[in-house]
Structure 1
Amino acid sequence: MPLQMKLTAVTLDCSDPEALAAFYRQATGLEPHPASNRDFAALARRGGVVIGFQRVDDYQPPRWPAQSVPQQVHLDFEVDDLDEAETLLLRLGAAKPEDQPGGGRWRVFTDPAGHPFCLTVRGAG
């Protein structure tokens, strides 16, 4: 029988945990986790997965889609409206790379620390 494990957290390396947590808080509505401090910040929803952000000295952001610095981690989010979500995310500080391999099915963005993430339309998959 395989080991039964429950995913409880995903943690992203970055140079400024508080700033990256603020970006994802505004984008997702998740609440600050009480364990947050200068070197580690986290967001959570009761009973949900925690997204953590940890300070790394000399952090090098991923270079998506190039692999000179690999993406290290990749997050996917569902939204009701891709255009509306894109407008909000760009206003919050996300970037939208030119290379968009998903066609109309999904869109790739990078957060302010350079981590790539994708948006898909809720229920389309």
Structure 2
Amino acid sequence: MRLSAITLDCPDPLALAAFYRRATGLETHPKSDADFAGLNGPHGLYIGFQRVADYRAPSWPDQAVPQQLHLCFTVDEELTDAEARLLALGAGKPDQQPHEGRWRVLTDPAGHPFCIVSK
């Protein structure tokens, strides 16, 4: 068994795919549309974004609306530089940062938390 795809619920699949495309450099899947968009990742891993009616963003670290999952990305640059780049692309930064010296918790434009870790 091999993991082939990860799909995130969101209100606007094309916008969220564009954020992650700019953040990661992955290519947009050619059949992306307003209801389901995707990025082609390395080794065949596909990241999908599906439209969900009445989407409610996770409320991390509060669990009123659970995060359900989060993604972790290794960055080649310093954490501070990567954080600044991602914030400029539209990421958010929650006040709570459990281990800010080792990784940073950010949120994508749809509210999903994700972490960045330096090599």
TM-score (norm 1): 0.91
- Give the superposed CA RMSD: 1.0
Q: Secondary structure at the match of 1:99?
A: coil
- CA deviations 1:1-47 (Å, max 9, x no partner) are xxxx1000000000000000000000000001123111000001353
Query: 1:35 matched to which residue of 2?
Result: 31
Amino acid at match of 1:102: H
CA distance in 2, matches of 1:93, 1:46: 24
- Aligned residue in 2 for 1:77: 73
Deviant stretches of 4+, over 4 Å: none
- 2-side partners of 1:46 and 1:74: how far apart? 19
Residue 48 (structure 1) shift: 3.1
How many residue pairs get aligned? The number is 118
Contact 2:21 2:27 in 1 (8 A): yes
Compute the displacement of 1:65 (Å): 0.3
SS state at 2:44 partner: coil
How far apart in 1 are the matches of 2:106 and 2:42?
26
Cα distance change, pair 83–59 in 1 and its aligned pair in 2 (3 A): same
Aligned partners of 1:34 and 1:114: how far apart in 2? 25
CA radius of gyration, larger in:
1
Answer yes or no: is 1:64 the counterpart of 2:60. yes
Q: Does 2:40 match 1:44?
A: yes
Query: CA offsets, 1:56-96, max 9 Å, x none?
Result: 00000000100000001100000122111111100010001
Partner of 1:19: 15
What are the ranges of 5 or more consecutive residues in structure 1 without an aligned counterpart?
none
Which residue, 100, 105, 108 being the options, matches 2:105? 108
TM-score, normalised to structure 2, is 0.95
Partner of 1:6: 2
